[in-house]
């Protein structure tokens, strides 16, 4: 079950999706101490600490459908790279970055690169929930400009230490031409990993009984997660692992070992769990790990590489 994502070696392919139980010091340490979590990912951070949007910001149906409009509540980037935290985490540790401006993103990345205690960063280009801030992953020109500048910083660091992992978190794409455009931008830079996909932005859950929305911010609109996004996630994992040189981390609709198996078959080298982690808490990792192990042994697969990216097509 070992795997490699960019420069990071993982003993288990499972990790938390950024945002779920990973904002506070206690939550990060708990993730580090959770069996079969291969890597700890922080809540996306901004330059300054933020409270996020007014509650209620999250809803799920208890099964596997979720909507959130958290609005980036976080402790500020300094918190996530402080020795106070990093010295307590023994597994690979990825800090998710979601600055509110280009300048903030570059400042945070620069500071992260100087920190030898973290394994890498996941630059979040796909937060759907900050009022007045469109998802940069859908603005190809802005994305290219940001990655150009971030890449300069990362290249400098790589001269002295090759181990830092530069990753991106992308929104879902729905058009073949968009896969082509995004991958041609990504391939210009030294990006090690891409996480596909963030929540499906600006969906709406309606409660027919009370005739209301289920979360408060933005009139009820928010990022959709869970089984309903799985097929979109699989398509993004598949296409972007074919078109880029990056290792892809699959995220979206993973509730069972079969879901994880499908992500890996489509090309994911590792997977993140969001909605189901929220619902089932930390026990989810061991359960899904064992389910995946059972599928592998039934099929006679000894390692993830035996089936990673080997989805068959119909000729």
User: 3-state SS string over the chain?
Assistant: CCEEECCEEECCCEEECCCCCCCCHHHHHHHHCCCCCCEEECCCECCCCECCCCCCCEEECCCCEEEECCCCCECCHHHHHCHHHHCCCCCCEEEEECCCCHHHHHHHHHHHHCCCCCCEEEEECCCCCCCCCCCHHHCHHHHHHHHHHHHHHHHHHHHHCCCCEEEEEECCCCCHHHHHHHHHHHCCCCCCEEEECCCEEEEECEECCCCEECCCHHHHEEEEEEHHHHHHHHHHHHHHHHHCCCEEEEECCCCCHHHHHHHHHCCEEEEEECHHHHHHCCHHHHHHHHHHHHHHHHHCCCCHHHCCCCCCCCC
Output 41 or 265, the one with its CB closest to ligand RRO: 41
Of 68, 165, 183, 244, which lies in the binding site for ligand RRO, with binding defined by CB under 6 A? 68
Rg (CA), the chain: 18
- Interatomic CA distance for residues 309 and 63, integer angstroms: 29
Output 203 or 309, the one with its CB closest to ligand RRO: 203
Minimal CB distance to ligand RRO: which residue?
A: 223
Q: Is 72 in the site for ligand RRO (CB under 6 A)?
A: yes
Give min distance, CB of 167 to ligand RRO, in A: 13
Give min distance, CB of 128 to ligand RRO, in A: 6
- Interatomic CA distance for residues 175 and 293, integer angstroms: 34
Of 13, 38, 71, 137, which lies in the binding site for ligand RRO, with binding defined by CB under 6 A? 71
Of 3, 119, 193, 198, which lies in the binding site for ligand RRO, with binding defined by CB under 6 A? 198
- Options 22, 39, 45, 127, the catalytic residue: 127
Output 127 or 147, the one with its CB closest to ligand RRO: 127
Of 3, 34, 44, 275, which lies in the binding site for ligand RRO, with binding defined by CB under 6 A? 44
Of 16, 165, 199, 276, which lies in the binding site for ligand RRO, with binding defined by CB under 6 A? 199
Number of chain residues interacting with ligand RRO (CB under 6 A):
16
- Taking contact as CB under 6 A, which single stretch among the options 122-130, 175-183, 203-211, 232-240 is the one that binds ligand RRO? 122-130
Give min distance, CB of 235 to ligand RRO, in A: 19
Of 127, 196, 268, 273, which lies in the binding site for ligand RRO, with binding defined by CB under 6 A? 127
Decide if 39 is catalytic.
Answer: no
Output 51 or 175, the one with its CB closest to ligand RRO: 51
Output 47 or 261, the one with its CB closest to ligand RRO: 47
Output 38 or 52, the one with its CB closest to ligand RRO: 52
Of 3, 12, 16, 124, which lies in the binding site for ligand RRO, with binding defined by CB under 6 A? 124
Count of residues making up the chain: 315
Sheet holding 268-273, edge to edge: 14-16, 268-273, 247-251, 193-196, 165-170, 120-124, 93-97, 40-41
Of 6, 167, 223, 252, which lies in the binding site for ligand RRO, with binding defined by CB under 6 A? 223
Torsion 11-12-18-21 (CA) sign: negative
Output 71 or 226, the one with its CB closest to ligand RRO: 71
Q: Is 244 in the site for ligand RRO (CB under 6 A)?
A: no
Q: Which residues bind ligand RRO (CB under 6 A)?
A: 19, 44, 68-72, 98, 124, 126-129, 198-199, 223
Which residues have a catalytic role annotated? 127
């Amino acid at each position: 079950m070992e795997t490699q994502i960019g420069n990071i070696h993982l003993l288990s392919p499972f990790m938390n999706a950024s945002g779920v139980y990973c904002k506070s010091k206690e939550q990060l340490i708990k993730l580090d101490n959770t069996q079969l979590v291969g890597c700890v990912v922080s809540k996306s951070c901004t330059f300054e600490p933020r409270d996020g949007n007014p509650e209620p910001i999250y809803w799920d149906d208890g099964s596997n459908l979720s909507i959130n409009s958290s609005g980036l509540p976080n402790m500020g980037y300094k918190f996530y790279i402080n020795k106070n935290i990093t010295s307590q985490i023994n597994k690979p540790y990825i800090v998710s970055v979601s600055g509110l401006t280009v300048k903030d993103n570059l400042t945070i990345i620069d500071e992260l690169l100087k920190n030898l205690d973290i394994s890498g960063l996941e630059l979040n280009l796909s937060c759907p929930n900050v009022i007045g801030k469109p998802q940069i992953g859908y603005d190809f020109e802005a994305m290219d400009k940001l990655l150009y500048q971030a890449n300069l910083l990362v290249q400098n660091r790589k001269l002295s230490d090759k181990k830092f992992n530069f990753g991106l978190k992308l929104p879902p794409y729905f058009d073949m031409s968009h896969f082509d455009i995004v991958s041609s931008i990504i391939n210009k830079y030294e990006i090690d990993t891409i996480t596909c996909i963030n929540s499906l932005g600006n969906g709406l859950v309606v409660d027919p009984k009370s005739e209301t929305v289920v979360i408060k911010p933005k009139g009820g609109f928010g990022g959709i997660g869970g089984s309903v996004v799985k097929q979109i996630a699989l398509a993004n994992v598949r296409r972007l692992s074919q078109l880029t040189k990056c290792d892809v981390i699959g995220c979206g609709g993973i509730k069972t070992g079969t879901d994880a198996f499908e992500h890996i078959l489509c090309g994911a080298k590792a997977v993140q769990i969001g909605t189901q982690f929220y619902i089932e808490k930390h026990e989810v990792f061991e359960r899904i790990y064992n389910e995946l192990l059972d599928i592998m042994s039934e099929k006679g697969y000894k390692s993830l590489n035996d089936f990673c990216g080997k989805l068959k097509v119909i000729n």
